[in-house]
Every structure is written in structure tokens, then in C-alpha cells.
């Protein structure tokens, strides 16, 4: 009489990969190079007036008025419905996090889900708060584009007689760019999907941001700063929440578990 050999239990998520580290190469790729690209793009768009050039092209293309400001696709489908879908996705993550306290199969996902929930929430909150401090106008408010106010850029003191404004950074785009946190979520859980996660966040953010530019609600630099804020918050929370959960002792225990082979060299964080 023969018996099937018992199957070894699958290792928990947090033991299935080598520990995450914040080495020099990691920081250069995830902080140094993005910061350099951000600074160069900011110089191009704000002091060198790339913002105005692009907005001029869109404004002229729409017949020297923001004809898509109330368009069905730009206003109702992307602006209104898009934000609702992003909020719904956030609630789905929240439900999964709550469920991870009751279902053993989800227990190992608790820390990554908490990270994703916090990163997306803090990203949108940070952008929304900064909008109240920067006091910058939307393109559709400017005399250059049919409005009544002069153009005051980010690095110029705003005259006290002008009404307050809250168009910088881009709040709606943050509902998309906040999901670049998926890159760090997958980096800690399923590294081969990290580029897919990044692509999802960038694609949604670009869609939301470009739709708002077509409506005259934002300049391109507004979206650039929103992306930078979301990426910085994701990176910081990754270092604070996900990396501490991976220690050398954890790696030693993981090596003794079945199916815990290290990642290929190209897949290391």
C-alpha cells in the first residue's frame, strides 16, 4: 500500500525572496536619476517656458478656446469617472487589507497591502495640500488663454491683490500617478511584475493629466511635480515599511524552505 509523499507548505510571501536592501545602486536608480530627470524637466518647462509653448499649441488646436473643457470624454469620462474608479480601486485594496486579518492565505500580504494603501492615500493628500500653498492659476484663468489673470510662475511672488488659486500640482493626475506605488508593491512581493505596476501607474497618470491639459486645467509641469511627489512618497514608504521586514535572519530561514530559490541576478531589487 503506497502513500503519496506529503507536500511541503509554500513559504510565506515575506520569506520567499531575498531581503530588500537600500544600497547605493538602488538609490541611484530610484532616487538619483529620477531626481536629475525631474530637475532638468522642471527647468525646461518653467524657466524656459516649455509649459506655455505646449499650452499655446493645445489652445490654438482647440480653436483658441478650451473647447474640450466640458467634453464628454475629458470631463465626464476621464475626469469624473476616472477619479471614481481610482477611489474604488483604493477601497478594494482596503478591503483586501482588512481580509488579510481573517484569511491565513492573505496574511503574508498584509504589510505590502498596508504599504500600497498608505502610499496612494498620502500621495493624493500631499498633492491636495500643496495645491493650497502654491497659489498658482490654471491656464483657463489666464488672460493669455481667454481668462482675466496675468501669468505668475512658480518662482515669482504673487501680487497680493490677485485672487487665490489652487492649480499646482495637478490634483486629478495624482489619482493616477499615486499608483506608481505598484512598482514598489511588486518589487517586494513579485519582482517580475514591478515594471507592469509602474506602467499601470504611469499610464493612468498620463491619461488623467493629458485630459486636464486639454481642458485647460493644468500645465505639463503640474503633472510632472505630481508624479515626482507620488514617486518620492512611494520610495520613502517602501524604505520605511517594506524594507525593514526583510532581514539577514529572514534570508537564512528562507534558504531552508522549499521553493525559496533566490531571484535571478537581473531581478534583484
The tens digit of pLDDT for each residue in 92-138 reads: 999 999 999 899 888 999 999 999 999 999 999 999 999 999 999 99
Give the SS3 label for residue 35.
helix
Residues whose CB falls within 8 Å of the CB of residue 124, separated by 6 or more in sequence, listed in order = 171, 174, 175, 178
pLDDT-based confidence at 265, cuts 50/70/90? very low
pLDDT-based confidence at 217, cuts 50/70/90? very high
Strand partners, 142: 149
Give the CA angle between residues 219, 39, 164 to the nearest 5°: 40
Give the pLDDT mean for 255-267: 41
117: left (phi over 0), alpha (psi -120 to 50) or beta: alpha
Could you tell me which residue, 128 or 251, shows the higher pLDDT? 128
Q: Which of 123, 122, 120, 128 is nearest to 90 (CA)?
A: 120
The tens digit of pLDDT for each residue in 163-205 reads: 999 999 999 999 999 999 999 999 999 999 999 999 999 999 9
Give the pLDDT mean for 5-31: 65
Global confidence as pTM: 0.85
Ordered by start, the domain boundaries in the chain are 26-151+164-246
Amino acid at each position: 500500500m503506497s502513500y503519496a509523499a506529503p507536500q511541503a507548505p509554500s513559504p510565506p510571501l515575506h520569506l520567499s525572496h531575498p531581503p530588500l536592501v537600500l544600497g547605493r545602486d538602488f538609490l541611484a536608480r530610484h532616487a538619483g536619476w529620477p531626481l536629475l530627470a525631474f530637475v532638468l524637466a522642471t527647468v525646461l518647462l518653467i524657466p524656459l517656458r516649455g509649459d506655455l509653448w505646449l499650452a499655446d499649441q493645445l489652445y490654438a488646436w482647440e480653436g483658441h478656446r478650451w473647447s474640450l473643457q466640458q467634453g464628454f470624454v475629458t470631463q465626464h469620462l476621464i475626469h469624473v469617472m476616472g477619479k471614481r474608479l481610482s477611489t474604488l480601486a483604493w477601497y478594494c485594496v482596503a478591503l483586501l487589507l482588512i481580509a488579510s486579518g481573517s484569511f491565513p492565505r492573505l496574511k503574508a500580504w498584509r504589510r505590502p497591502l498596508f504599504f500600497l494603501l498608505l502610499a496612494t492615500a498620502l500621495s493624493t493628500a500631499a498633492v491636495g495640500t500643496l495645491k493650497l500653498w502654491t497659489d498658482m492659476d490654471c491656464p483657463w484663468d489666464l488672460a493669455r488663454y481667454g481668462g482675466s489673470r496675468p501669468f505668475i510662475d512658480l518662482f515669482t511672488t504673487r501680487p497680493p491683490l490677485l485672487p487665490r488659486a489652487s492649480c499646482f500640482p495637478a490634483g486629478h493626475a495624482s489619482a493616477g500617478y499615486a499608483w506608481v506605488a505598484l512598482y514598489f508593491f511588486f518589487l517586494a512581493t513579485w519582482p517580475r511584475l514591478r515594471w507592469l505596476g509602474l506602467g499601470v501607474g504611469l499610464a493612468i497618470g498620463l491619461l488623467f493629466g493629458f485630459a486636464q491639459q486639454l481642458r485647460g486645467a493644468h500645465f505639463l509641469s503640474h503633472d510632472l511635480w505630481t508624479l515626482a511627489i507620488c514617486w518620492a512618497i512611494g520610495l520613502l514608504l517602501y524604505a520605511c515599511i517594506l524594507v525593514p521586514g526583510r532581514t539577514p535572519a529572514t534570508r537564512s530561514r528562507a534558504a531552508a524552505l522549499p521553493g525559496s530559490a533566490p531571484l535571478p541576478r537581473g531581478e534583484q531589487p
